[in-house]
């Protein structure tokens, strides 16, 4: 009769079977955890791709807006300078016509005084008549000349000041748009960091390191999303 299995052999077989079963369960669990990590990485990469595209687009739009506003500020500033210089030319013309009149007055040249006064611009003539009414040749408290009278308004001064103020507004808008563009670029760098962390995470065989990198990447991604929500949106 063939001999049966001894109790020692039976115990050894049961022990080996239990070990194989345990290793199989651990392998299945490990495979499941690897799959979950891969899914998380894929989700993070997908979100990063979309947000990075939006951040880059927004940065470009704000950059264009900044360039346009700064160019507008420069153009308006140039216009303000042109108006101011034209005003100075007009002021010099008023001064030259008054000097001609004053010279004729000192020479007691009535005809020359009339000719010079006919050359006065209408606004300057108003200030001149107001100045004459103060009796400047006998009144020591009279203003120094027609250009010192309240009736005289320096040509182009108000318009140049208004244009300068307008240029300041455009410059402020351009600077703000430039800052917005820089902030979007900074957020894109954060998103690129997430991409890097998730990308190298898959190369680690140590699961704890992989999960750690995913966690850090998720935290940076959350921070980037908050920044994008709070950031001013460009005009589409």
pLDDT of 100 strictly over 50: yes
Q: Mean per-residue pLDDT for 20-30?
A: 43
pLDDT band of 22, cuts 50, 70, 90: very low
Q: Look up residue 41 and give its two tokens.
A: 């990485």
Q: Is residue 179 one of the residues assigned to a domain?
A: yes
Q: Is residue 26 one of the residues assigned to a domain?
A: no
Q: Is residue 31 one of the residues assigned to a domain?
A: no
CA distance 64 to 55: 14
CA distance 51 to 227: 11
Q: Is residue 110 one of the residues assigned to a domain?
A: yes
For the chain, what is the mean pLDDT?
A: 84
Question: Would you say 95 and 147 are in contact if contact means Cβ atoms under 8 Å apart?
Answer: yes
For residue 183, give its domain range.
Answer: 36-42+51-230
DSSP structure class, residue 143: -
Cβ burial of 219 (10 Å; 0-12, 13-18, 19+) is: exposed
pLDDT in tens, 27-74: 444 455 567 777 888 888 889 889 999 999 999 999 999 999 999 999
pLDDT of 136 strictly over 60: yes
Q: What is the pLDDT of residue 40?
A: 81
- Measure Cα distances from 131 to 98, 103, 124 in Å: 12, 17, 10
Least confident of 40-44, 53-57, 79-83, 169-173: 40-44
Q: Is residue 23 one of the residues assigned to a domain?
A: no
pLDDT of 204 strictly over 90: no
Q: Is residue 210 one of the residues assigned to a domain?
A: yes
> Tokens 């499941």 map to which residue?
32
Q: What is the pLDDT of residue 31?
A: 52
Contacts by 78-81, CB closer than 8 A, 24 or more apart: 79/163, 80/160, 80/161, 80/163, 80/164, 80/167, 81/160
Q: What is the pLDDT of residue 45?
A: 86
Q: Mean per-residue pLDDT for 137-163?
A: 91
Q: What is the pLDDT of residue 162?
A: 95
Cβ burial of 221 (10 Å; 0-12, 13-18, 19+) is: buried
Number of structural domains in the chain? 1
pLDDT of 13 strictly over 80: no
Q: Is residue 218 one of the residues assigned to a domain?
A: yes
Q: Is residue 127 one of the residues assigned to a domain?
A: yes
Q: Which residues of 19-36 are buried (b: 16+ CB within 10 A; e: fewer)?
A: eeeeeeeeeeeeeeeeee
């Amino acid at each position: 009769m063939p001999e049966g299995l001894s109790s020692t052999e039976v115990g050894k077989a049961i022990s080996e079977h239990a070990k194989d079963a345990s290793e199989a369960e651990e392998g299945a669990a490990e495979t499941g955890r690897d799959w979950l990590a891969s899914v998380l990485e894929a989700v993070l990469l997908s979100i990063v791709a979309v947000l990075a595209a939006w951040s880059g687009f927004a940065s470009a739009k704000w950059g264009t807006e900044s360039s346009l506003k700064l160019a507008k500020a420069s153009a308006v500033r140039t216009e303000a300078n042109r108006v101011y210089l034209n005003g100075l030319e007009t002021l010099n013309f008023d001064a030259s016509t008054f000097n001609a009149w004053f010279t004729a007055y000192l020479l007691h040249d009535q005809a020359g005084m009339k000719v010079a006064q006919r050359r006065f611009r209408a606004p300057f003539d108003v200030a001149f008549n107001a100045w004459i009414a103060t009796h400047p040749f006998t009144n020591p408290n009279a203003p120094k000349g027609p250009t010192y009278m309240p009736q005289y308004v320096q040509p182009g001064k108000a318009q140049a000041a208004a244009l300068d103020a307008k240029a300041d507004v455009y410059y402020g808008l351009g600077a703000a748009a430039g800052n917005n563009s820089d902030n979007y670029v900074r957020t894109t760098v954060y998103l690129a960091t997430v991409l890097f962390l998730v990308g190298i995470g898959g190369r680690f065989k140590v699961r704890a390191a992989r999960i750690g990198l995913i966690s850090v990447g998720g935290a940076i991604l959350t921070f980037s999303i908050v920044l994008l929500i709070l950031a001013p949106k460009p005009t589409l």
